[in-house]
Amino acid sequence: MNDHDSAYDGLVDGDGHGQWAFGTSFDDPLAGVDTTVPDDVDLGALAHYCLMLGDDALVSSQRLAEWSTRAPELEEEVALANVGLDLIGQARLLLARAAAADSTVVPFISDTSPVPAEDALAFFRDQFGFRNVRLVELANGDFAHTVVRLLVFSTWRLALFDRLRTSRDPVLAAVANKGVKELTYHRDYAARWVVTLGAGTAESKRRTADALLEIFPFVDELFVPTQDELVLAEVGVGVDPRTVRPEFDAVLAQVLHAAEMEEPPSRFSGFVGGRGGRAGLHTGALGLLLAEMQSVAREHPEGVW
Amino acid sequence: MVTVTAATVSSAQEIVASVMDPEMPLLTLADLGVIRSVDVEANLVCVTITPTYSGCPAMATMRDDIEHKLTDAGYGSVQIKTQLSPPWSSDWISEEGLAKLRTAGYSVPGAAPRRTSGPIALTLTAKPRDILCPQCGSANTRLSSEFGATLCKALYRCLDCLEPFDHVKEI
């Protein structure tokens, strides 16, 4: 006997007041979490930092979800969706944390808006407000592109989160502690596929080499610190991304060696006027991704059920 | 209106402990090891839980179920807190929970990996676990996918009896 025989029960036996019809925020992901910030921490910088880490996860998750119904095998479809779901969980906590640290980062929708802060951040910012690195927004390409990108992303993020576990912000430390366990699985999954494809057939090797060539120009951006990261690293809240480069390079070299692949020549895609994804300057791919992700929510901003 | 006595506290604890996990409804929340504390003060019950995975979609349902079970039993107001740290570990699943999982045909998690110093090691090719088929007991099993029907499960296949089965992951 359980209480979940009908999917519709949950919709009608709620607490009586309507919830916003979209997004995931049926409950506050930070409900009951101690969100006290140490006195010497710049709240604006903390909010921006949470947006960076949250947007990296949110945009990655949306790209992974695009594989649903079209992955090469059912098991891989389930795996990619699972990785995406872990990242959505991280994004929810981080976006809610950003809003709690500095409410001015949350876009204003209307005085009567029922949209929770984390959803307002996800669905009502335009692309210039997103602070993700450009790596995560690139179109999926084929399966080799997706696993190469996931390898790069999860290797980098795992190294960052491993250091964030000792952040003086209790929420960042908790998110990182949890995230490390999840990202370890993601990195192993992606690494095994890169080895399988790289050391596989001539065709899978060719596709993996193409993926490396196209994705590597977006790697250097991962290690360029923003002012906010430097300020927070100074007070023991954030991590200077430059410090994780040696670990990242070592893991990538280990995987590429096992995959019998050469690391492609470093060709940084560069910034435009000194600005990249962290400053809101993105590739054209992000606008298309956001159009798909946000259009229904924006059509009915006051929708409740 | 419930007045606080030792009995009401233990009764609130029992009610919370007996709420079922929505995704593996053979386990209670106590079996799963997600309940950190249950405190009763005047007419307020304060329950602290730890999510299994950051994105676990069952968390909202767990909160609702705890609240409804307590209010149905006469407790006036319920507050549910989330404790993110320390993160949940599969080591927290109770012995009784492990027994229920085995009976239901799941492969149960081994000890969660212990963190050593230095960078987290990459697991490229080694078979990560020695797992017996929960149906026939054969050790001749193969990982189909590290990611299964829910965040907490991996999918395996037995090469002898050919049955697929779920393995609850070590985290």
pLDDT at residue A15, as a whole number: 47
Cβ-based neighbour number of residue A8 at 10 Å: 8
Angle between helices A245-258 and A143-164 (to 10 degrees): 140
Q: B154 near B140, Cβ under 8 Å?
A: no
Helix (H) or strand (E) holding B47: strand B44-49
Cα nearest neighbour of B23 on chain A: A4
Question: A169 and chain B: CB distance < 8 Å anywhere?
Answer: no
Bridging pattern class, strands B141-145 and B153-158: antiparallel
Residues of chain B with Cβ-Cβ distance to A258 below 8 Å are 124-125
Looking at the domain that runs over A38-298, which CATH code has it been given? Answer: 1.20.1260.10
Cα nearest neighbour of A5 on chain B: B22
Question: B143 and chain A: CB distance < 8 Å anywhere?
Answer: no
Q: A93 near B54, Cβ under 8 Å?
A: yes
- What are the boundaries of each domain within chain A? 38-298
Would you call B145 and A258 a contact, using CB atoms and an 8 Å cutoff?
Answer: no
Convert the pLDDT of each residue in A74-116 to its tens digit: 889 999 999 999 999 999 999 999 999 999 999 999 888 888 8
The interface residues of chain A toward chain B in range 252-281, judged by CB-CB distance below 8 A, are 254-255, 258
Convert the pLDDT of each residue in B28-49 to its tens digit: 999 999 999 999 988 899 999 9
DSSP state of B162: -
Instruction: Look at domain B6-82 and name its CATH class.
Output: alpha beta
User: Does residue A154 surpass a pLDDT of 80?
Assistant: yes
Q: By C-alpha distance, which of B55, B90, B19, B91 is closest to A83?
A: B55
The DSSP string of A268-280 is: ----BTTB-GGGT
The model's pTM: 0.88
Burial letters A69-85, b for 16+ CB under 10 A, else e: eebeeebbbbbbbbbbb
Question: B127 and chain A: CB distance < 8 Å anywhere?
Answer: no
Distance CA B63, CA B48 (A): 10
Max Cα separation, chain A? 62
DSSP state of A304: B
Question: A95 and chain B: CB distance < 8 Å anywhere?
Answer: no
- The backbone torsions φ and ψ at residue B63, rounded to the nearest 5 degrees and listed phi first, read -60, -50
Place of tokens 């977006």: A218
- What are the boundaries of each domain within chain B? 6-82, 103-114+127-168
Question: A184 and chain B: CB distance < 8 Å anywhere?
Answer: yes
pLDDT at residue A1, as a whole number: 38
Sheet holding B164-168, edge to edge: B141-145, B153-158, B164-168
